[in-house]
Chain A
Amino acid sequence: MQWYTLDTWIVVIGVLCATACALLGNFLVLRRMSMMGDAISHAVLPGLAVAFLISGSRSSLVMFIGAGVVGLLTAVFVQWVHTFGRVDRGAAMGVVFTTLFAIGLVLIVRAAHAVDLDPGCVLYGSIELAPWDTVAVGPWLVPRAVVVLGSVLALNTLVVGVFYKELNISSFDPALATTLGINARAMQYLLMTLVAITTVAAFEAIGSILVIAMLIVPAAAAHLLTDRLGSMIAVSLVFAAVSAALGHVAAIVVPGWVGATDTMTSGMMATVAGGLFAITVLAAPRHGVVSRVVVRRRLRGRILREDALGLLYRLEEQDQPVTRSELVDRLRTALVIGGGVATRAFRGLVRRGLAEPAAESLRLTDAGRVRARQLVRTHRLWESYLYEHLAVPADHVHDTAMDLEHVTDPAMREALADHAADAAEDPHGTMIPPA
């Protein structure tokens, strides 16, 4: 891999663009308006075309104004179709942005001789060409995109900084925001205008479709990693910057694997962001798929072991010696589970020192007996509570108590015991073991 100054500039442009987008994306994701980013980034096309036709130039300021106006209009039109036409919000977006996109397409094609706008460029961007288009900043020659995107990033940071509290409250609780005197609607339109301006700034660099990737993907991943807005924004910015940098590296390296020389950096940036998102979905500590599966499996294992423990206690109570395979069979039929699962539950008890092998079978250790007695006590206390206080029929209380016994802590158990102070037996007539 060869690295030139050019590549550094491309990475700088990509990082500026990605962070400017990701900053706003946090609020879009939290407001459940991610697709609004999609809608606006398609809908700015006619704004650009009209701005170009009026001004006759691709000067950035006119483009920004045109895009800002159309972005705002998109938000307003979607709101109209949604409230006046009572169309589902998603469908309203679909109607508005496809129509605006079509109008933009017609404008560009009709005025092709006058408009030097390539819709392809709007869609995919040309970050590879951006470093060549330079402007003088003081003594240095800096790519124009760096200046433009840097300004937009500064603008977004400024607005988000100034309106942080308002954006925060109105994203999570628009009704509360309104009662506090914050105009939630105005905040929404402010956000939409910023999204439109950022889209235009970014469209030359990474293309409008990929703006959506940078708007949504980093923020969505950050949402899975943290519960605080401040840290969510921080995580999303890091995520966006890393995607941009790695994306360019990938665009240089990956095509070599199949014999090509390079590919579109913007596409690779989105691909890398998607890859990082997929890893986050799987591996996020609290909201990730893997951790949720692990937590669920652990809980399931504990419940199974507790049920096995209770079974051993009840058999001991009835003084019924059974063989090991009978034990497994009983647990299997009681819980409707597979034989392997039941065997593992007993093995887990032995491993934890709660049960020990004894002549063809298992018996409780002393520690196991204490735990088991508490469990069975909780179970029977629940049964009598359900029977006496909630009027659940005696033949229905067992299953509910089976569920509740696993989530009852000692304090709750003794509170139950107070309610059933005089009951020495559960509704089935078996003794409730003492504490």
Chain B
Amino acid sequence: MTTLSPIPTDGPHVVHDTALNLGDVVDVLLLRDYNTMLVVLATVVLGLAAGAIGTFLLLRRRALMGDALSHAMLPGIAIAFMVMVAFGGSGKSMPGLLIGAAVTGLLGVAAVLAITRLTRLKDDAALGVVLSVFFGFGVALLGIVQDMPEGSPAGLASFIQGKTASIVRKDLWLILIVAGVVALMTVLLFKELALLCFDEAFASVQGWPVLTLDVMLLTLVTAVTVVGLQAVGLILIIALLIIPPAAARFWTERLGVMLALAALIGGLGGWIGASISALVPRLPAGAIIVIVVATIFVASMLFGARRGVVARLIVQARLGRTVRRQHLLRAIFEHVEAADAEDAEPIVVEATLVQERSWSRAALRRLLRWARRRHLLAAVGDGRWRVTDLGLTEAARVARNHRLWEIYLIHHADVAPSHVDRDADQIEHVLGPRLVRELERLLEPAHPAGTVPPSPHVIGPEGG
């Protein structure tokens, strides 16, 4: 029976008493303490690199590849250890272990790609098979290593959980070099990787070496994962690859901006997380960093400017309001049209309007108040409203758009006249002015500008 050593539990521990004083906080945040500086710098740079390269992974829908990759590194570490011991070394040379990790990591990625290409299994099963089998193999090998007379592999297990607290100068240099290479490559290959992410088929038709680019991308990911492994651990480096890009995606539709934002979020997470871990005893730095970036993710998901939930709700609410207002205008037009044309005063009655659509009395009243503010209607009292000239023009414009669509659908899309009302309703509100002009050009001869064609179907509750 063998057990692997328990996880390292803490950050660099600048302070041990529970009460925090401001001086300590400032010291840590400004990197005044040498040890803390190393740790914070390392995690910041790691966060920057992981966020940047993770962007491409996310857009290529390969987010979980980092998961398989990092798990597949475990057997490599064990094998490297055994090989180094066999050649008389101590087995703990960091570069050797990392090379071993990178080799089996890449093998794991190749296995995932091979399984999806050669069998009928989908990528989820391929990822699951590879990560669990490779990791299991690694666990078995580590068990053997621990039992070998030659070497005590204490510290090998720290790869699984990370040992953020004990980052030393050498580790920082390694992370800086890898991050530098990743940054350089993302700048040099920006156009190619973007093409790979957005339109792989087009890239290959254009003669780009898609497979080579894919391999380069995964190699860069491997490099970041390998150095991240010892800094924040196996599970948490996956988080740094996935979460910052996913959070950045809520803020922008542009790749360059997303890349920068993801790197920024990753770096910020590293800075805040490592600092908290340094200030509060018994907080594992890796986990805190992940929780910080996850918090940024949740905030971005809610409040992101482009794809955030709130932003989308606002857009939807706005559209809903526009639609309701257009419905009111069309109902007004249909009423005026149905009323006697000789009638001097175009009047609409609230009690009849409310039957027109499935709107509540309160909602209709809100709409009518809006129409009055816009001088489209004027109250005559007693629930009756006079349509102003402006209101008539606006109502005619909305009704005209609706009927042009209906006519277009009947003649060009073979929709039955009795069904056309709802189909047109779904489309008319989202039409841009350009499409309306196009529609008018198509139907111009029969329905010259400024006129409202007669409705092609029966209007009213029965006509639909």
Check B61 against A88 for contact (C-beta < 8 Å). yes
Shortest distance between the CB of B159 and any CB in chain A (Å): 12
Question: How many residues on chain A are close to B (CB under 8 Å)?
Answer: 74
* Given A32-B122, A85-B307, A255-B147: A109 and B140 interface contact (C-beta under 8 Å): no
What residue in chain B is nearest A88 (Cβ atoms)? B61
What residue in chain B is nearest A209 (Cβ atoms)? B135
Check B238 against A90 for contact (C-beta < 8 Å). no
Check B131 against A81 for contact (C-beta < 8 Å). no
Check A262 against B3 for contact (C-beta < 8 Å). no
Check B133 against A32 for contact (C-beta < 8 Å). no
Shortest distance between the CB of A407 and any CB in chain B (Å): 22
Distance A216 CA – B64 CA, assembled complex (angstroms): 16
Distance A261 CA – B309 CA, assembled complex (angstroms): 57
Distance A261 CA – B128 CA, assembled complex (angstroms): 30
Check B139 against A266 for contact (C-beta < 8 Å). yes
B6 touches which of A34, A120, A126 (Cβ 8 Å): A120
Q: Does B14 contact A (CB under 8 A)?
A: no
Which B residues lie within 8 Å of A427 (CB)? none
Which A residues lie within 8 Å of B7 (CB)? 105, 109, 119-120
Q: Per-residue 0/1 for B284-303: is the Cβ within 8 Å of any A Cβ (1 yes, 0 no)? A: 10111011001001000100
What residue in chain B is nearest A33 (Cβ atoms)? B124
Shortest distance between the CB of B255 and any CB in chain A (Å): 16
Distance A254 CA – B145 CA, assembled complex (angstroms): 12
Q: Does B149 contact A (CB under 8 A)?
A: yes
Which B residues lie within 8 Å of A267 (CB)? 136-143
Distance A51 CA – B67 CA, assembled complex (angstroms): 27
Which A residues lie within 8 Å of B67 (CB)? 35, 38, 94
Which A residues lie within 8 Å of B121 (CB)? 29, 220, 223-224
Check A95 against B243 for contact (C-beta < 8 Å). yes
Q: Does B132 contact A (CB under 8 A)?
A: yes
Distance A134 CA – B387 CA, assembled complex (angstroms): 87
Q: Does A123 contact B (CB under 8 A)?
A: yes
What residue in chain B is nearest A255 (Cβ atoms)? B144
Which of B135, B140, B143, B250 has the most C-beta atoms of chain A within 10 angstroms of its own C-beta? B140
A91 touches which of B122, B139, B246 (Cβ 8 Å): B246
Q: Does A17 contact B (CB under 8 A)?
A: no
Shortest distance between the CB of B2 and any CB in chain A (Å): 6
Shortest distance between the CB of A107 and any CB in chain B (Å): 9
Segment at the interface with B among A273-281, A321-329, A339-347: A273-281
Complex interface residues of chain B between 1 and 28 (CB less than 8 A to chain A):
1-7, 9-10
What residue in chain A is nearest B160 (Cβ atoms)? A123
Check A35 against B129 for contact (C-beta < 8 Å). no
Q: Per-residue 0/1 for B50-79: is the Cβ within 8 Å of any A Cβ (1 yes, 0 no)? A: 000000001001111011000100000000
Which B residues lie within 8 Å of A99 (CB)? 239, 243, 290-291, 294, 297
Distance A123 CA – B176 CA, assembled complex (angstroms): 31
Number of CB contacts from chain A to chain B under 8 A: 252
Q: Does B352 contact A (CB under 8 A)?
A: no
What residue in chain B is nearest A37 (Cβ atoms)? B128
Check B125 against A220 for contact (C-beta < 8 Å). yes
Which A residues lie within 8 Å of B71 (CB)? 209
* Given A32-B124, A102-B287: A42 and B6 interface contact (C-beta under 8 Å): no
Interface of A is mostly: helix
Q: Chain B: interface residue count, which band?
A: 35 or more
Q: Does B148 contact A (CB under 8 A)?
A: yes
Q: Per-residue 0/1 for A203-227: is the Cβ within 8 Å of any B Cβ (1 yes, 0 no)? A: 0000101101101110110011000
Segment at the interface with A among B112-120, B215-223, B389-397, B427-435: B112-120
Shortest distance between the CB of A55 and any CB in chain B (Å): 22
Which B residues lie within 8 Å of A121 (CB)? 3
Q: Does B236 contact A (CB under 8 A)?
A: yes
Q: Does A228 contact B (CB under 8 A)?
A: no
Q: Does A287 contact B (CB under 8 A)?
A: yes
Shortest distance between the CB of A3 and any CB in chain B (Å): 17
Check A95 against B297 for contact (C-beta < 8 Å). yes
Distance A223 CA – B139 CA, assembled complex (angstroms): 27
Complex interface residues of chain B between 376 and 400 (CB less than 8 A to chain A):
none
Distance A86 CA – B62 CA, assembled complex (angstroms): 16
Which B residues lie within 8 Å of A266 (CB)? 136, 139
Q: Does A335 contact B (CB under 8 A)?
A: no
Distance A383 CA – B284 CA, assembled complex (angstroms): 74
Check B144 against A258 for contact (C-beta < 8 Å). yes
Distance A426 CA – B18 CA, assembled complex (angstroms): 94
* Given A124-B139, A271-B140, A281-B115: A103 and B287 interface contact (C-beta under 8 Å): yes
Q: Does A414 contact B (CB under 8 A)?
A: no
* Given A88-B58, A120-B5, A120-B6: A273 and B133 interface contact (C-beta under 8 Å): yes
Check B284 against A94 for contact (C-beta < 8 Å). no
15 extra interface residue pairs, beta carbon distance < 8 Å, beyond A90-B62, A91-B63, A94-B241: A38-B127, A85-B307, A88-B61, A88-B63, A90-B61, A91-B64, A94-B238, A94-B239, A98-B235, A98-B242, A110-B283, A213-B135, A219-B125, A274-B137, A281-B118
Residues of B within 8 A of A (CB): 1-7, 9-10, 58, 61-64, 66-67, 71, 82, 115, 118-122, 124-125, 127-129, 131-145, 147-149, 157, 160-161, 235-236, 238-239, 241-243, 246, 249-250, 282-284, 286-288, 290-291, 294, 297, 301, 307, 309
27 sample A-B contacts, Cβ–Cβ < 8 Å, listed by A number:
A42-B235, A81-B301, A91-B58, A94-B66, A95-B297, A98-B236, A99-B239, A101-B236, A102-B287, A110-B282, A118-B6, A119-B6, A120-B157, A120-B160, A210-B136, A213-B132, A213-B133, A213-B135, A213-B136, A217-B129, A220-B121, A220-B125, A260-B147, A263-B143, A264-B143, A267-B137, A270-B133
